[in-house]
């Protein structure tokens, strides 16, 4: 069985001829996002989190960020990563740092390095792998791989791949530099205040299950920051489902999922219980059509809704 999974992984990630170098994830992968900065900077991690920082090489030029999802429970993070790592080496990249969750620095590494925000990237701080690779002083790439119970997630960051831009020279590595963490509240607070509600993206529940999967969720961290910055705000966590199943079943499931999120906010972020209510509306407030798999997936969500300020 293990050999079969390994063979499947090799087939899925096989390199195909291309005019420009690009890592190939195969037909089983679905791209979630792509962000291209013609002139930007990236702190490429070169070692684990230690003594309060992550050693990093600061690079400048064209920065390309991609995230991918691979549906299915079969492949491990190593089976996802290994073919991609081999492709980098075959393309002339040298691996400078290769680690697994706790070896990287666990929670501190995950939040000290650049990660595309949820829902476009999911990282379980107890199950992820990271690789940094360089081709020359201007060209580099990094891989971040994690998974939920039902899917694998891949983040790829390219720096000046294939000489596609003429960047300024890369700055030399000098001691240690902490890679900048993303601004967790950017955009979320505005949506809450202007619209009165916001979807908590990237939450993972098994099909038909009400317990929130283990792992770290950027959207919950964003909500925690919002509530800390607005100490008088009271919200409702509202669960939504797709239209499969009866109304009574979905009402119950949607409320239990909201309660699971509420419990996580209390236990992990210390939010006072009396500041959050949990409700469920089943399929009565869809965000998209229930006639397509994509629409049903979008409808399965939990939203934070402002109730009042006390």
Domain interval for residue 15: 2-163
For residues 110 and 213, state if they share a domain: no
| pLDDT above 60 for 249 | yes
For residues 153 and 196, state if they share a domain: no
Decide if 168 is inside a domain: no
Average pLDDT over residues 244-253: 91
CB 188 within 8 A of CB 226: yes
Query: What radius of gyration, in Å, describes the C-alpha atoms of the chain?
Result: 21
- d(Cα 227, Cα 270) in Å, to the nearest integer? 11
User: Where among 147, 163, 179 does a domain terminate?
Assistant: 163
| pLDDT above 80 for 208 | no
For residues 151 and 213, state if they share a domain: no
For residues 154 and 12, state if they share a domain: yes
Higher-pLDDT residue of 130 and 294 is 130
Decide if 177 is inside a domain: no
Decide if 262 is inside a domain: yes
What are residue 309's DSSP bridge partners? Answer: 233
For residues 295 and 261, state if they share a domain: yes
- Mean pLDDT in the chain? 83
Cβ-based neighbour number of residue 260 at 10 Å:
21
Average pLDDT over residues 140-144: 97
pLDDT in tens, 82-108: 999 999 999 999 999 999 999 999 888
pLDDT of residue 76: 92
Higher-pLDDT residue of 89 and 26 is 89
For residues 90 and 222, state if they share a domain: no
Cβ-based neighbour number of residue 213 at 10 Å:
16
For residues 79 and 225, state if they share a domain: no
Could you give the number of structural domains in the chain?
A: 2
Decide if 242 is inside a domain: yes
pLDDT of residue 174: 40
CB 237 within 8 A of CB 276: yes
Decide if 244 is inside a domain: yes
Cβ-based neighbour number of residue 53 at 10 Å:
16
Three-state DSSP at 156 gives: strand
* CA dihedral of 165, 166, 172, 176, whole degrees rounded to 10: -40
User: Where among 163, 178, 205 does a domain terminate?
Assistant: 163
For residues 11 and 136, state if they share a domain: yes
The DSSP letter of residue 131 is: E
For residues 115 and 70, state if they share a domain: yes
Decide if 131 is inside a domain: yes
CATH number at 252 reads 3.30.1330.60
| pLDDT above 60 for 231 | yes
For residues 129 and 211, state if they share a domain: no
For residues 97 and 207, state if they share a domain: no
For residues 51 and 151, state if they share a domain: yes
- d(Cα 218, Cα 300) in Å, to the nearest integer? 18
Decide if 110 is inside a domain: yes
Average pLDDT over residues 258-266: 93
Decide if 174 is inside a domain: no
| pLDDT above 80 for 111 | no
pLDDT of residue 172: 38
């Amino acid at each position: 069985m293990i050999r079969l999974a390994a063979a499947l992984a090799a087939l899925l990630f096989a390199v195909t001829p291309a005019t420009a170098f690009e890592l190939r994830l195969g037909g089983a992968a679905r791209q979630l996002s792509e962000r291209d900065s013609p002139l930007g900077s990236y702190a490429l991690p070169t070692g684990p989190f230690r003594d309060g920082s992550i050693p990093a090489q600061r690079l400048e030029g064209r920065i390309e960020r991609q995230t991918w999802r691979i549906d299915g429970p079969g492949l491990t993070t190593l089976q996802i990563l290994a073919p991609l790592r081999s492709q980098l080496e075959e393309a002339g990249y040298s691996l400078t740092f290769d680690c697994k969750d706790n070896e990287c620095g666990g929670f501190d590494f995950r939040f000290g390095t650049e990660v595309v925000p949820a829902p476009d990237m999911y990282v379980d701080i107890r199950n992820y792998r990271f690789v940094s690779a360089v081709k020359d002083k201007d060209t580099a790439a990094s891989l971040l791989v994690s998974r939920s119970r039902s899917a694998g997630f891949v983040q790829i960051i390219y720096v000046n791949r294939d000489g596609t831009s003429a960047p300024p020279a890369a700055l030399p590595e000098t001691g240690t530099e902490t890679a900048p963490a993303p601004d967790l509240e950017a955009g979320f607070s505005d949506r809450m205040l202007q619209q009165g509600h916001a979807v908590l993206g990237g939450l993972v529940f098994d099909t038909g299950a009400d317990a929130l999967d283990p792992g770290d969720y950027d959207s919950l961290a964003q909500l925690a920051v919002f509530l800390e910055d607005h100490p008088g705000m009271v919200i409702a966590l509202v669960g939504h489902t797709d239209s499969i199943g009866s109304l009574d079943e979905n009402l119950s499931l949607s409320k239990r999922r909201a309660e699971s999120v509420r419990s996580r906010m209390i236990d992990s972020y210390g939010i006072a219980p009396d500041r959050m209510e949990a409700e469920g509306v089943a399929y009565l407030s869809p965000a998209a059509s229930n006639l397509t798999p994509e629409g049903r997936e979008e409808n399965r969500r939990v939203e934070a809704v402002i109730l009042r300020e006390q």
